[in-house]
Amino acid sequence: MTIQRPKGTQDLLPGTVEQWQYLEETMRSVCRDYGYDEIRTPMFEATELFQRGVGQTTDIVNKEMYTFLDKGDRSMTLRPELTASVCRAYVENKLYGQPQPVKLFYIGPMFRYERPQSGRFRQFHQFGVEVLGADQAVVDAEVISLVWDLYRRLGLTQLEVHVNSVGCPVCRTKHRALLQEFLSTRREELCKDCGDRYDRNPLRILDCKNATCQAVTIGAPTTRDTLCEDCSTHFGRVLGLLGVAGVVYRVNPRLVRGLDYYTKTAFEVMVEEIGAQSAICGGGRYDGLVEEIGGPPTPGFGFAMGLERILAALQVKHLLPEEKPKLFAMLVALGEKAQTEGFSLLSALRTHELPVSMDLLSRSLKAQLKAADRLGARYALILGEEELEKKVLVIRDLTLGEQIEVPLNQAVEEIHKMYQRGVNA
């Protein structure tokens, strides 16, 4: 094998693609029911969009972007996430001039230059929702319950929904300062990573997996302690509405999200049993983002979920639908004359939109029947020398092992009738 696919990418082959289609259809139907419309934006954008939109301090921008210069020396980047793009599209297409809020969803590939591992790819796929132009707590609650509802429809239970409020920029700065002050005396005890995090992003120390860091942070000021009145009221309202919608959640004061743009509500959904990368959905409110990228001040709320990880969860929990046979009948033709006649018969059947197929290797009768069986065809339509002479077609029921002869000139009509019966049964 000489040329291989790029690291961290995958070929989705028949058998797997059907699972993706099932997942995507379920996502689309939930969105339709909730009144969200699909948006499709470019696979790549000006690098600056992500630098400003996602944030200069984030790992995504610092070390994970697929960036290249195009032939006009413009710096372009394959999209690592879509919230920034959707906001850009909102501004660029003046969607703020339409009835507000604008409720959008997307499904598509994202790109991040990382070392692949279980549940992590360089090209991966996200489904996401963004609501722009409404700062009400109901928005937060509606979007989170949409997520909840999707999982319910997929049969995914026993997952954890973590909710928190990281506050507005004011409470956030306050919290950060308090936290650094709290940790300052015990900074030596922190692990190496947390030492780095102390200056860069002290909030992350709160959810470090290291046991000693966990111990050090006991009693540390949480985001909740520093919320201003507005943020606090908002958060309370969100939780109340989630309760009304029947969403089972857990307030996790240590939940912080890695992207710079989050304000107020942040949430995450985790599933065990799919490896170390257990977050299958993450999102929250981002009231400053649209303005940050040059648009009018516009509140926003959204999330992204990873299709690969959800599929992994559905897999281990055996929640993926079984593949159904797609073929109704298989033409078995023997000899060139029969093949010609059969080809004509198939064409006729196909104009009626019947799922029918034929042997393409001119194999023996036996081999063709075997193939028909493998492909899960219900009927084999046998046409050989004898049948041509008698001007008949043998229709063999492969599940019953019985066969009948019908006049060739009535075959299309007969098969069509059988198909209708099968569909209605």
Extended beta strands in 88-195, E state:
102-111, 123-132, 160-165
The interface mask with RNA, positions 238-257, x = CB under 7 A, is -------------------x
Q: Exactly one of 52, 103, 197, 264 binds RNA (CB under 7 A); which one?
A: 197
The interface mask with RNA, positions 198-227, x = CB under 7 A, is ------x---xxx-----------------
Residue in the structure block whose two tokens are 């004359």: 337
CA–CA separation, 15 and 400 (whole Å): 27
Q: Exactly one of 76, 245, 365, 408 binds RNA (CB under 7 A); which one?
A: 365
Question: How many helical (H) and strand (E) elements, i.e. helices and strands, does the chain have?
Answer: 15, 16
Q: Which of 324, 261, 340, 312 lies closest to 125, judged by CA?
A: 312
Dihedral-angle region of residue 33 (phi above 0 means left; psi in -120 to 50 means alpha; beta otherwise): alpha
Residues 6+ apart with CB under 8 A from 361: 367
Residue 108, interface with RNA (CB under 7 A)? no
Residue 21, interface with RNA (CB under 7 A)? no
Q: Exactly one of 130, 142, 308, 341 binds RNA (CB under 7 A); which one?
A: 308
Nearer to RNA, 36 or 303 (CB): 303
Q: Considering only the stretches 16-24, 159-167, 243-251, 391-399, report the one whose residues sit in contact with RNA under the rule CB under 7 A.
A: 391-399
Residue 76, interface with RNA (CB under 7 A)? no
Q: Considering only the stretches 4-12, 26-34, 36-44, 346-354, report the one whose residues sit in contact with RNA under the rule CB under 7 A.
A: 4-12
Footprint of RNA on residues 368-387 (CB under 7 A)? Answer: 369-374, 380, 382, 384-387
Residue 314, interface with RNA (CB under 7 A)? no
Q: In what order do the strands lie in the sheet with 75-78?
A: 44-46, 75-78, 66-69
Q: Considering only the stretches 59-67, 158-166, 285-293, 347-355, report the one whose residues sit in contact with RNA under the rule CB under 7 A.
A: 59-67
Q: Exactly one of 71, 115, 324, 421 binds RNA (CB under 7 A); which one?
A: 115
CA–CA separation, 151 and 35 (whole Å): 18
**What own/partner pairs with CB < 8 Å and gap ≥ 24 does 168-173 have?**
168/228, 168/230, 168/231, 168/263, 168/264, 168/287, 169/263, 169/288, 170/228, 171/223, 171/226, 171/227, 171/228, 171/231, 172/223, 172/263
The interface mask with RNA, positions 158-187, x = CB under 7 A, is ------------------------------
Question: Helix H segments across 185-228?
Answer: 192-200, 211-216
Number of residues this chain uses to bind RNA (CB under 7 A): 68
Residue 8, interface with RNA (CB under 7 A)? yes
Residue 273, interface with RNA (CB under 7 A)? no
Provide the greatest CA pair distance for the chain.
98
| Residue 88 beta carbon to RNA: minimum distance, rounded to whole angstroms | 17
Cα dist from 290 to 29, 59, 95, 394, whole Å:
28, 21, 12, 67
Interface contacts to RNA, rule CB under 7 A? 4, 6-8, 58-60, 64, 81, 112, 114-121, 124, 126, 193, 197, 204, 208-210, 257-259, 268, 275-282, 304-306, 308-309, 334, 363-367, 369-374, 380, 382, 384-387, 394, 396, 398-401, 403
